[in-house]
Amino acid sequence: MPENPYPFEPFKIKTTERIPITSREEREKILTDAKGNIFNVPARTITIDLLTDSGTGAMSDAQWGALVQGDESYAGSRSWEDLQATAQVVFGMPYILPAHQGRGAEHLLFTVLLDRDKKPVIPGNGHFDTTMGHIDWAGGTGVDCIGDWALDPESDYPFKGDIDPGKLRSAIKEAGVDRVPLVLITITANTAAGQPVSMKCICEVREVCDEFGIGLYFDAARFAENAYFIKEREEGMGDKSIAEIVTMMFEPVDGAVMSSKKDGLVNIGGLVVCRDKKLYRRLASMGTLFEGFPTYGGQAGRDLAALAVGLREVLHEEYLRWRIGQTYYLGKRLRDNGVPIVWPPGGHAIYLNISKILPDMPLSQYPGVAFQNAVYLDSGVRVCEIGSVMAGRDPETGEDRHPRLEFVRLAIPRRVYTQTHMDYVIESITRVYENRDKLKGVRFIYEPKVLRHFTAEYEEVEKEVSKT
């Protein structure tokens, strides 16, 4: 990446939304009322919202136009025909099935492909939490085969999302091939800080799958961002268009699930795509039961129309250059200010390395939550802990599960914020980082059993005064 890779926004702003500006005093009251849980803070009190890049993007004029032109038919609408034709070309797959969002698509694929009696095992490069949830739900277990290159948050390794083929082979042999119905590659790897997966890795994983006769699927939520990284970083790919790279990426796989809320550039929706007619038929029957008729899948016709446009727009190279450049800009400037982050910056988010920022705060005081809340109090910016609170408790022992590293994620909505917004975030994070020795940990005053991070309530823990 060049020193200052931040290109100008390749769009003009046609509609604006007022940003709430609050005082520190107001924010203190808001966070107290929210019982210290950033998920309980109303969006109308948030100045810059980096909670997620999912369903939070801005649509283009062409997408808004498509919304109006979209037609609403239960079966076989014009909007559906447009989406189907577009997705067939973009992904090179004959069968396209809409779902209400990514997890709806996961539900269909895993219920159809997993045989609970076999105790199935699904290797991947760090399944996303809903994906893991759906694998569990269908009676399976996820196994992480990401390479050791992902473990060093500071190395320059260009494709930290890559699966290690050696680990994959071992995982398949250990489980027994009969228990492995598919391998799932997430592009880009959200649980590995949005790091990309190389074309080389996709081909190697295909070879391993062929050795054992196993299907290969993508979790393709951020497929276009992944393609841009391949273009930028992988040898021999620089001259290809993003559309060509996407075609190459999908050629070796049997199908994919996708949350359209990311690289579909829409606010809701999901897809399953596949090559096999029999599989499609089974998916479509399940889809009719849980999502809706196979030509709308829980979405309005106009949503399908906007998604068709989004899937075409996301392939524009100047958009992706700006998008990946904006994430890089945020990460690089934070790093220049001394803030430890996962390097190199991924596609959709910057991950602060809280284990390095607050090494002395006990994990039982949830340092990620302490940092996240301090950022809100400082500036009204909402970021999100990805650490021990999110990991939850071990159902057997009841003890907290501690991930290898504690993170706070700054996920950037698409086409929403400008460079000056990023500067505001950088100043605030840097300020909180520089005053990190004043931060207080938290403890639960209410802790739900399932997905505790969404609804937990906290209070601050007073710092112990050193007796020396």
Which residues are near ligand F0G by CB under 6 A?
Answer: 52, 54, 101-103, 128, 130-131, 186, 190, 219, 221, 259, 261, 270, 411
The reply to whether 366 belongs to the active site is no
Q: Min. distance of Cβ 150 from ligand F0G in angstroms?
A: 15
Q: Which candidate in 91, 95, 110, 128 is catalytic?
A: 128
| Residue at shortest CB range from ligand F0G | 102
Q: Which candidate in 175, 192, 193, 221 is catalytic?
A: 221
Dihedral sign (CA 448, 450, 455, 459): positive
CB nearer to ligand F0G: pick between 128 and 433: 128
The reply to whether 221 belongs to the active site is yes
The reply to whether 376 belongs to the active site is no
CB nearer to ligand F0G: pick between 413 and 441: 413
The reply to whether 129 belongs to the active site is yes
Q: Min. distance of Cβ 386 from ligand F0G in angstroms?
A: 9
CB nearer to ligand F0G: pick between 331 and 413: 413
Residues 122, 184: contact at Cβ < 8 Å?
yes
Q: Min. distance of Cβ 461 from ligand F0G in angstroms?
A: 28
The reply to whether 407 belongs to the active site is no
The reply to whether 263 belongs to the active site is no
Q: Which candidate in 74, 277, 336, 402 is catalytic?
A: 74
The reply to whether 219 belongs to the active site is yes
CB nearer to ligand F0G: pick between 445 and 451: 451
CB nearer to ligand F0G: pick between 270 and 441: 270
Q: Min. distance of Cβ 52 from ligand F0G in angstroms?
A: 3
Give the catalytic positions in this structure. 74, 128-129, 219, 221, 262, 453
